[in-house]
A and B are shown apart, each in its own frame.
Chain A
Amino acid sequence: MSLFGASIRRKEDPRLLQGNGRYLSDIKLHGMVHAVFVRSPHAHALIRGIDSSAAAADPRVVCVLTPDDLPVGLPPLPCIDAEETTKPFNQPILATDKVRFVGEPVALVVVEGDRYIAEDIAGLVDVDYEPLPAVSTAEAAVAPDAPLVHFDSNVVDVLEYSVGDASSALAAAPHTLSERFITQRYAGTPLETRGVIVEWDEPRRGLTMWSSTQVPHSLKATLVGYLGLPENAVRVIAPDVGGAFGVKLQPYPEEIVLGLAAEQVGRPIKWVEDRYEHFLASTHGREQYHDVEVGYDDDGRILAIHDHAVTNTGAYLQRLTLVEPFIGVSMLSGPYVIEHQQLVSTVVMTNTTPLNPFRGVGHVQAAFTMERIVDLVAAAVGVDPGEVRKRNMFSKDVFPLHRGIGNVLAGEIIYDSGDYQECLRRAMAAAEWDDFRREQESARAEGRYKGIGIGFFVEETGLGPYESGRVRVEPSGQVIVFTGACSSGQGHDTVLAQITADELGVEFDDIVVVHGDTDLVASGVGTYASRSAPIGGTAVRHAAGSIKEQAIRIAAEMLEASPQDIELIGGEVRVKGSPGSSVSLAQVAGRVAPGQPLPAGVDEYTLDATDVYHPPTNTFSYGCHVATVEVDIDSGVVTLLRHVVVNDSGTLINPLLVDGQVQGGVALGIGGALLEEIVYGDDGQPLNANFMDYLVPAIGNMPEMVVEHMIVPTPLNADGMKGAGEGGAVGAPAAIANAVADAVLPFGAKITETPLGPETVYRALQDVS
């Protein structure tokens, strides 16, 4: 049986289960010193001066770096500008004249000893702030007299897209409805915070940086730029990464400052973010509201939509911040045929931690908004939500489907493959929709309020521009796979070994996967946007395919046969039809080891192949979630009953691992639907920056979960893979919000925002009574 498609146990686990994981904070180097960042306690303030003399006088201090100590003209953090229209709202590496959010790094203190001592001494750095009025919400930021975060307006960009003629279609529509839908600010909050170790190597005039990052190659490229070093002088290593979810997908100021300090300090420096710092200084996501007007007919067909989304992107535009406002509107219509769309996405800055993508960026808000609208339309026309969805969905015959929207961040939106109607049908069947309706009816008769809701989504996955894969066979017979993708817990070692084993017929246990080290992996992009399997996996598949061709060519000479007559099966290269005439892949690798003449027609002393795969365009996964809930009308408490997901990520390499991805995504979506919100006061002070007050779902929050897979392979890559990392997080809030709305429908309560904590639901019920 082929390993490809099999639910096998992970390669990674025994090592981690024996306590042999090596996360960033586990690494100790000889002579290591410890760093702490001095951060702004103010949401908005001028820096009048920094006096670090008391700190610098402490004999344990190795170095203090303030903005004045950084190279003149050091560029701020990079930002990819969605439409190339925005002003430079990038974050300085250390705040110079002004701080714009609580937690913004202002200075670095490096000490001999340990983190405890480093924190003591960091407290001696005296920053003279002149506090300024601050603004923390998008609504407050657009008020005429709002404090200005940067220049003359807090509205820093407006992205606009349109398909058809929405204004005319809305005017002509038989019915319209309007509503505002609000998705709160929340964050990935991996259990492992960020952390960096940097070591300067004087003889080599270069440095090695270990960082808990999703993108070691992109961090390397950034360091090369900031430090003015040649590529070969910078090595970045991502050790075991304890979760990331997008929070670790960009180079951060701490990495650049530590890179700059490395040579001066001359000893390894370690910095590990604590949880409070993480809430302040690692990127957040989501905060976006949508003002929507939709036109529909008597049958519930949606004819036109006008959406104005407003995103609170925080104090700076980070590398990919603008993905949030872009995807939030561009993916709004999801699986639905809506001929006329006018989409406007306003980017607003405030004195809060910057936004950057995390698990399901933009899609979460888009799906929540659209799926709530569809349910409102269904209720207005008196048709079941499932039926209304069916009437509006694309058929399976439309692919490839050009949606007429695109930009530099995400490319043109072209849906590649799928069967949305079947996905909906299967999810409703798995949720026992009709039975639940009966159950709901009888529960209502007893004064108990249950609800069922659908959350359908289409999600842009498998983003380019490329990923690298390299396969090398050693004379021992071991196969080494190098990938530019980088694991933060997904199981890259396992699934890339499955692909390799499938292509080469070698034993799973004879495959070693290497990632997260820029000296060992020549090029790469990293892991985000559900890309490692479709892009990284395809590169490995291609590289292994080249190995196969090379092996056959070499074996042809060894076996004195023609290459056409040779096949590679079970790690043996043999002459077709004569099983006795064979050599092992190890022997083939040995035949091209240096120190001997090469076989005729072979020109390299290695059995080694690399592929750098550039996908033609992105893939689009999709799925249907159906949630059932019970709402306690007296308290507003929502209890989740069951959560069904039917997901199409294309071909599955390892269904067990994909189940894990979907289930984990659903948990994050449950957090977003019911629990998680990063709260700021009007003064820009964070109010719940710890795990006691910021509620991550615990085991008791989880409902019974059912995950099924539909497999419609994409034509865009060899194995038909579409990416599976994020969809769970995308569909869940929409489905849960619809289920809550369904539960409280008898009361006419409006459900238009997440998280649906008891207070929000209770107020929605009070507002109508």
Chain B
Amino acid sequence: MSDHAVTIRVNGVERSESVPARLTLADFLRERLDLTATHLACEHGVCGACTVLVDGETARACLLLTVQADGSEVTTLEGLTEGDELGPIEQAFWAKHGMQCGFCTPGFVLTIAEMLDDNPNPTREEIIEGLGGNLCRCTGYVKIVEAVEEAVSLRGGGG
């Protein structure tokens, strides 16, 4: 099986690697770059746990091959946090108990990051619509919705 050279900018750092064609972006991030906040749960594109941003838009890292991401810019949960400071979405998850086991959380945080960039002041219906592609088995989603509303206000709301 021949390898392919890819160059991907991950969390602001350019990474050039040689990868097999079948290597998923999720495994590239986790196994090659040790960015383990991108989680695999369904490996099927259904649950959203592996959500990352590719050129600013959410994508399922389990359904993308690394070679498809060649030349793009990828952001993972690790890339949202600077130093020890939690960003507003993460702070909101902490404040509102928006997480339990934490396995789905990175995917939610990245989905919400994109959502709030597009629409800084979503209605409750828009939040529910926006999070329809992420599964959480622990929380029943109630406190995730509250966390998004808290994040809106921490980000200055009304934007």
A binds B: yes
- A-side residues, CB < 8 A to B, are 9-10, 12-14, 16-23, 25-26, 28, 114, 116, 188-193, 240-243, 245, 274-275, 488-491, 656-657, 659-660, 663-668, 690-692, 696-700, 702, 705, 728
Cα(A698)–Cα(B111), bound, Å: 14
Tell me if B154 counts as interface (CB < 8 A to partner A).
no
Find the B residue at minimum CB distance from A700: B132
> Chain A interface secondary structure, helix, strand, loop or mixed?
loop
Whether the pair A243, B20 counts as a contact (CB closer than 8 A) is no
Cα(A9)–Cα(B17), bound, Å: 41
Whether the pair A13, B99 counts as a contact (CB closer than 8 A) is yes
Cβ proximity bits B20-36 to A, threshold 8 Å, 1 near / 0 not: 10110001001100111
Cβ of B67 to closest chain A Cβ, rounded Å: 14
Docked complex: B52-67 residues within 8 A CB-CB of A: none
Docked complex: B84-120 residues within 8 A CB-CB of A: 84, 86, 90, 93-95, 97, 99-106, 109
Cα(A114)–Cα(B128), bound, Å: 38
Cβ of B29 to closest chain A Cβ, rounded Å: 11
Cα(A692)–Cα(B41), bound, Å: 12
Cβ of B19 to closest chain A Cβ, rounded Å: 11
Q: What are 27 A-B contacts defined by CB distance under 8 Å?
A: A13-B102, A17-B81, A18-B77, A19-B35, A19-B37, A19-B77, A19-B81, A19-B106, A21-B102, A21-B103, A23-B39, A114-B27, A189-B137, A191-B39, A191-B41, A191-B47, A191-B49, A191-B104, A243-B138, A488-B101, A489-B99, A659-B143, A663-B140, A667-B137, A696-B47, A699-B131, A705-B142
Cβ of A654 to closest chain B Cβ, rounded Å: 9
Find the B residue at minimum CB distance from A272: B40
Whether the pair A25, B137 counts as a contact (CB closer than 8 A) is no
Tell me if B152 counts as interface (CB < 8 A to partner A).
no
Given contacts A663-B139, A691-B44, A692-B46, contact A18 B102 (CB under 8 A): no
Docked complex: B127-150 residues within 8 A CB-CB of A: 128-129, 131-145
Chain B residues within 8 Å of A12, by CB: 102
Chain B residues within 8 Å of A488, by CB: 101
Chain A residues within 8 Å of B51, by CB: none
Tell me if B78 counts as interface (CB < 8 A to partner A).
yes
Cα(A659)–Cα(B139), bound, Å: 9
Chain B residues within 8 Å of A189, by CB: 137
Q: Which residue of A17, A18, A489, A702 contacts B138 across the interface (Cβ within 8 Å)? A: A489
Tell me if B70 counts as interface (CB < 8 A to partner A).
no
Cβ of A604 to closest chain B Cβ, rounded Å: 38
Tell me if B42 counts as interface (CB < 8 A to partner A).
yes
Contact count band on B: 35 or more
Whether the pair A696, B135 counts as a contact (CB closer than 8 A) is yes
Given contacts A10-B94, A17-B93, A19-B81, contact A691 B135 (CB under 8 A): yes
Cα(A17)–Cα(B105), bound, Å: 7
Whether the pair B109, A17 counts as a contact (CB closer than 8 A) is yes
Whether the pair B97, A699 counts as a contact (CB closer than 8 A) is no
Find the A residue at minimum CB distance from B46: A691
Chain B residues within 8 Å of A22, by CB: 36
Tell me if B73 counts as interface (CB < 8 A to partner A).
no
Chain A residues within 8 Å of B132, by CB: 698-700
Given contacts A26-B36, A692-B44, A699-B134, contact A656 B78 (CB under 8 A): no
Cβ of B143 to closest chain A Cβ, rounded Å: 6
Chain A CB within 10 Å, residue with most, of B35, B104, B140: B140
Cα(A274)–Cα(B40), bound, Å: 9
Cβ of B129 to closest chain A Cβ, rounded Å: 8
Whether the pair B102, A242 counts as a contact (CB closer than 8 A) is yes
Whether the pair A699, B145 counts as a contact (CB closer than 8 A) is yes
Chain A residues within 8 Å of B97, by CB: 9-10, 656-657, 659-660
Tell me if B76 counts as interface (CB < 8 A to partner A).
yes
Chain A residues within 8 Å of B40, by CB: 25
Cα(A697)–Cα(B37), bound, Å: 23
Given contacts A18-B86, A275-B41, A656-B97, contact A192 B103 (CB under 8 A): yes
Whether the pair A191, B137 counts as a contact (CB closer than 8 A) is yes
Chain B residues within 8 Å of A697, by CB: 140
Interchain residue pairs A-B with the least CB separation, the first 5:
A489-B101, A242-B103, A19-B37, A667-B140, A663-B140
Cβ of B123 to closest chain A Cβ, rounded Å: 14
Cβ of B62 to closest chain A Cβ, rounded Å: 10
Chain B residues within 8 Å of A491, by CB: 100
Whether the pair B106, A14 counts as a contact (CB closer than 8 A) is no
Cα(A696)–Cα(B43), bound, Å: 15
Chain A residues within 8 Å of B134, by CB: 698-699
Cα(A51)–Cα(B144), bound, Å: 51
Whether the pair A660, B102 counts as a contact (CB closer than 8 A) is no
